[in-house]
Structure 1
């Protein structure tokens, strides 16, 4: 189940026709009653305030485990884009970052409950900040326990391919009626190629346990292309491979904004995190983090 939540939440964001600009949040929420009620949470304080974090000298970030290039453990040390971003935010707040690598649940709702505003039923606790949360206005309107803030990047679907197989230009989904293509099993790319395209490419789709595994298959010439999130493709590019972002006709949204989630009880912390992200975007530090992992960076509209 470790990767199911990320697939499910991206699928929901894309196919639901969501994704208004962040600045429209208040207008979009007008007249919308939240699905999640504050009385369903504990009555006591959850998590730590900004003042307490500064007094303690550290803050904890919940990041997805085994999720290269975003966050993973290497020889016991957390690494990845989101890890470096957590360190950037903590440094701007004058504290140290502590990284908590977590498994994802079956839904984003459950991840937010487990790690942001309540804690798992058995032995659970919340973290100060959760990163890599897809930002969407309509979704945020349904949640009154969580502040969605700190938008730091735009992820989008793309196609990696062998330049020897496609010397003139990168392939588009239509060619996968004839050419083999790799995808992560049960991902948005899998869904798009086999369902949105009305099954026209189903017999040419090769399913792998992860996008990284699919990219290894591309390098081994098992497939001619791989479709998946741009960052995961970029992080696994090898000589003789390239990546591009063609139009994906029939898909409501092929890109989504990534941000942070923080308990509503700690709005001052949310403002401080957003200020740190804004500063990192303005002075190029966040772009440099992406470049350090060989990942193409696209800033969000804030």
Structure 2
């Protein structure tokens, strides 16, 4: 799963691909029925309060494993853009950062349940903050147990391509009826191309977007499609391959860019406010932009 857009729940996936239901637009949350309130159950405290985090002097961030350039483990330490953002949040809160590298589940709902608001059924526990959580009005309405906040970047779908194969301009999606393109298997790019041009044999699928870029570099494909930062992470491994990248219009793809933020258990809104304030300060003084620059990535500020 490519964390959000590669394993969207069906309703959001349809929205992302531009499927608009008839009947006009809804006001925010108008078409959502609130979840039933638990009856005859005791209140449950999940996770640590903000005061306890400060008293104990540390904060734990859940980050995805094997998710370059955002987060991965190297030499026994967590590394990546999200990890550095976690460190600057901890510095603002004056506590020690700790990182928990977690597996991506079948969809975002499962990840938030396991790592933010409940914990896995067997031996599960929640972390204080989960990084790289998309901000979306549909999610904020539907998943009431999570505070979606701390937007720190905007990500977009892009196409990396061989400059030798496309010397005049980069390819667009219809090119891939005839030209081989590499994508992450079961990702939003895979779904989009399959829905647009059909299940053609020109769509070559790989376990991740950076590996798809490896296939582009070796000539197995003429282009690779996926999230911009992941494409750039793959391109950095092949500086000699003559790979370029662009963000062309994508027909029928209404959600080709999205905002990345954090998720916090709804019981701990004061923690969510503090984390958001830390991120807002780091955006204002350029620290987050500098993190992206150090990793050789395009930084696009979020709409907050």
Q: TM-score, with normalisation over the residues of structure 2? A: 0.90
Q: Post-superposition shift, 1:10? A: 8.2
Q: Post-superposition shift, 1:29? A: 3.1
Q: Post-superposition shift, 1:295? A: 1.1
CA contact (8 A) 2:17 2:192 kept: no
CA contact (8 A) 2:2 2:187 kept: no
Which runs of 5 or more structure 2 residues have no equivalent in the other structure? 19-26
> Counterparts of 1:18 and 1:269 in 2: how far apart (Å)?
34
> CA 1:78–1:279 in 2, change beyond 3 Å: closer, same or farther?
same
Secondary structure of the corresponding residue to residue 161 of structure 2: strand
Output one character per residue of 1:13-33: Cα deviation in whole Å (capped at 9) or x when no partner: 4532599xxxxxxx6135743
Correspondence 1:140-155 to 2 at 5 A: 140-155=140-155
- Please provide the CA RMSD for this pair: 2.3
CA contact (8 A) 2:177 2:197 kept: no
Secondary structure of the corresponding residue to residue 254 of structure 2: coil
> Counterparts of 2:192 and 2:266 in 1: how far apart (Å)?
35
> CA 1:179–1:210 in 2, change beyond 3 Å: closer, same or farther?
same
Match of 1:235 in 2: 233
> Counterparts of 2:40 and 2:185 in 1: how far apart (Å)?
35
Match of 1:23 in 2: none
> Counterparts of 2:126 and 2:42 in 1: how far apart (Å)?
12
> CA 1:154–1:59 in 2, change beyond 3 Å: closer, same or farther?
same
Which shifted more, 231-240 or 279-288?
231-240
Q: Post-superposition shift, 1:41? A: 8.9
Correspondence 1:176-255 to 2 at 5 A: 176-199=176-199, 202-237=200-235, 238-239=238-239, 240-255=242-257
Answer yes or no: is 1:16 the counterpart of 2:18: no
Which shifted more, 9-18 or 183-192?
9-18
Answer yes or no: is 1:171 the counterpart of 2:168: no
Output one character per residue of 1:208-240: Cα deviation in whole Å (capped at 9) or x when no partner: 111111111111111111001100011111331
> Counterparts of 1:34 and 1:177 in 2: how far apart (Å)?
44
Correspondence 1:49-60 to 2 at 5 A: 49-60=49-60
> CA 1:230–1:94 in 2, change beyond 3 Å: closer, same or farther?
same
Q: Post-superposition shift, 1:159? A: 0.2
Answer yes or no: is 1:290 the counterpart of 2:288: no
Secondary structure of the corresponding residue to residue 193 of structure 1: helix
Output one character per residue of 1:166-198: Cα deviation in whole Å (capped at 9) or x when no partner: 111111111112211111111111111111334
Q: Post-superposition shift, 1:39? A: 6.3
> CA 1:160–1:121 in 2, change beyond 3 Å: closer, same or farther?
same
Secondary structure of the corresponding residue to residue 48 of structure 1: coil
More helix by share: 1
Q: TM-score, with normalisation over the residues of structure 1? A: 0.90
CA contact (8 A) 2:4 2:134 kept: no
Q: Post-superposition shift, 1:162? A: 1.0
> CA 1:16–1:180 in 2, change beyond 3 Å: closer, same or farther?
same
- Give the 4+ runs in structure 1 shifted more than 2 A: 2-6, 9-15, 29-44, 196-199
> CA 1:18–1:209 in 2, change beyond 3 Å: closer, same or farther?
closer
